[in-house]
Amino acid sequence: MSLADLFLRHLCQTSASPLGLTVARASGSTIWDTTGRAYLDLLAGMGVANVGHTHPEVVAAVTAQAARHLHVMVYGELVQEAQVRLAARLADLLGPPLDVVYFTCSGAEAIEGAMKTARKYTGRRRLVAFEGGFHGDTLGALSIGGNPLYRVPFEPLLPDVGWLPFDDPAALAAIDDATAAVIVEPVQAEAGVRIPSPGFLPALRRRCDETGALLVLDEVVTGFGRTGRLFAHQDAGVVPDLLVLAKALGGGLPLGAFVGRREVMDTLSHDPPLAHVTTFGGHPLSCAAGLAALDILLRDDLPARAAALGEELRSALEALVGHGGLVVVRGRGLLLGLEFARADLCAAFVRRALTEGLILGWTLHCDTVVRLAPPLVLGDAEAKEAVARIACALG
């Protein structure tokens, strides 16, 4: 039985028609299948490979850590250099008051931890999120998801959750002194790369300050240079109470985190102690990979690369509007959305793009939008080739 047949028989399928490429290797912005065909990965492994697939410095860091030790103890009890170095580096880059890091294995776990922390710290129950928002698929994360299509089949979920329209400052009056936390993405990725107006996040910050609610920014997708800044919230000039990270954080290995100020994070150490624990969160291999990836990102100024190349790509793709049902191109940095007039046109484009050797996909929560989030190391020639293949796929 072939590997592909075993895949279909024994791995749980989450769509009716998986891509089905049998991966042989990956490097930079390219994935090769076992027939030797190369594909440009315009999703970066779903936003993970910001420094490219299998970066040699990341591989070297993982190899060195594997020779030292793997898992040794539940989170937070033993001093593990890879964890400590990465946490300290993140705190230094974020600056006060975001100086305490809790590592998890994924973004959804980090959202769960942030929600628990906010409820425990404030003593409040109510959570506020936004229509169209996506924060993960665990039951807690799904409870604040802004798309009923994915949420309703799993109800009942967490009580005391409310949703507001995204990018509507007038709606923020609904945040009150019973609200523990407001959870928001600086750019709504799964909702179709929706970018808020410049005043929205500052207005949200002010309303949280007025009511004592914690502002939780979900930068799982937008963090680590994706939008042209190291973190997307820096463009808005706001500082969250809790910042949620994942995807590119681990340099290609599973890693998430939520970061907050000391007094908020300390709530997890008492009443009861061990109020939130994880066996594998902050695994030393993942932290070693994450630190190496962060070093690469900063040394090579990949956020600036994302800003410049993203602008060039957006301009080139806007010239294709009107072809194949493409109606709008929008984005920030190397997070771009291609909106189609109809869902069937969007799906047809994605199928044709695969035959052109492009890996991309439409967003979960908006079936008329294709999201592009290539590695930030995408070369100029690769970018031009990607545009040419997109043009062919549009017909």
**Residue tagged 């009107």 (tokens):** 322
Q: What angle do CA 263, 109, 47 make, to 5 degrees?
A: 110
Catalytic site includes residue 166: no
Catalytic annotation on 154? no
Report the alpha-carbon distance of residue 179 to residue 174 in Å, rounded. 9
Q: CA 247 to CA 379: how far, in whole Å?
A: 21
Closest to 374 (Cα-Cα) out of 323, 291, 325, 312: 312
247 is catalytic: yes
DSSP 178-229: TEEEEEE-SSBTTTTSBPPPTTHHHHHHHHHHHHTPEEEEE-TTTTTTTTSS
- H/E run at residue 26: strand 23-27
Catalytic position from the list 103, 134, 200, 224: 134
The answer to whether residues 275 and 69 touch, using CB atoms and an 8 Å cutoff, is no
Are 248 and 224 spatial neighbours (Cβ–Cβ below 8 Å)? Answer: yes
Strands 242-245 and 214-218: parallel
Identified catalytic residue from 103, 130, 166, 218: 218
The residues annotated with a catalytic role in the active site are 134, 218, 247
